[in-house]
Amino acid sequence: MKITKFVHSCLLVESPQINVLIDPGNFTWASHLLQVDKLPALDFIIITHEHPDHYDQQGLIKLSNRFPHST
């Protein structure tokens, strides 16, 4: 298992069975450290709560366009 922390609350958890992105909020997107085109195929995107530092609607649109089968 590999865990990568981006900015503030955003984590990418990768394992041979599953890839999960957690809380890609506005700080994450503003940093430009999270690059959608470089992410592995995501199985799940988890938002723990709807504060802007954990949830960014435009960012989620980018992710859902790239990974339409993730839930």
Instruction: Enter the tokens of residue 11.
Output: 């984590």
0.85 exceeded by pTM: yes
Q: What is the pLDDT of residues 1-43, one digit of tens each?
A: 999 999 999 999 999 999 999 999 999 999 999 999 999 999 9
Each residue of 49-58: pLDDT tens digit?
999 999 999 9
Six-digit token pair at 52?
Answer: 């802007």
Which two structure tokens, joined as six digits, stand for 47? 């938002």
d(CA 27, CA 22): 13
Q: Which of 34, 44, 37, 36 is nearest to 4 (CA)?
A: 34
Q: For tokens 């799940």, what's the residue? A: 44
